[in-house]
Structure 1
Amino acid sequence: MTRTARRAADGLQRTFFLWTIAGTSLIVAAAAGAAIVEVFRGTADAGTFVWGMIGIAALLESVVLFAVGLRLRHGHLNRVQSYDSRGDYLQDDGSRRPRVPLLGDGQATQNINHQGLGGN
């Protein structure tokens, strides 16, 4: 695997990791939903106020991490793929079909059977 392909895979892993953290923070914010409403109404006591602030912070964190993940994913999807970032071509198996890697690791092959087309 080339360094460029490895870096691209790391970028997507980073994106999914950020989205996982954002989802966890969103669960915390949902659990603190009633406390958040009480804080905005101004009727929260001390404990509800603290829990509401934790919920608000978790909600903001989830929005920011989701946006950062979208930006990383957008940058990865709009990157121009070159021969270096796609990986090596696969060995010729004698079928006279091009064996171009579909993923960046050079190990993916096309899963196509031409049995129903007649001829061979």
Structure 2
Amino acid sequence: MIFTNEEYADIHFCYGFCDGNAEAAVREYRIRRYPNRRLPSAQVFSRTHQNFRNYGLGGNVDHNRNRQNNNNQNRILRAFDNNPRLSSRRAANQLQISKSQILRTLRNNHKHAYHLQPVHHLHPGDPEQRRNKKK
């Protein structure tokens, strides 16, 4: 269940008011302070506090994930700039990134993975030979 920023702030406040006792914080939140709001579980109180400790007031897990995704995106684009004939499968193995993330990054940056397309070598007499074989 996702709460608004205001609700998370109130959840964290109640948790601190109750000296880190999640069960007491649930009772304080539900009975005394916000009887008309939806009720978060005791686990939400402790996780909200832990996320605040780990990531700070303005940050959350998504900021770190975005930073990692930007690093991966740069690695992917560099790999394909260095070797335009690189396949998505080979890039996934080399960079230890999922193939779907590689394809998504390439698509978002208007690039394409290399696809091997075997072509027969054509020689000057080829069209005549083909016509003779069809008869």
TM-score (norm 1): 0.35
**Structure number with higher relative contact order (C-alpha < 8 Å, ≥ 6 residues apart):** 1
Q: Return the index of the structure with the highest Cα Rg.
A: 2
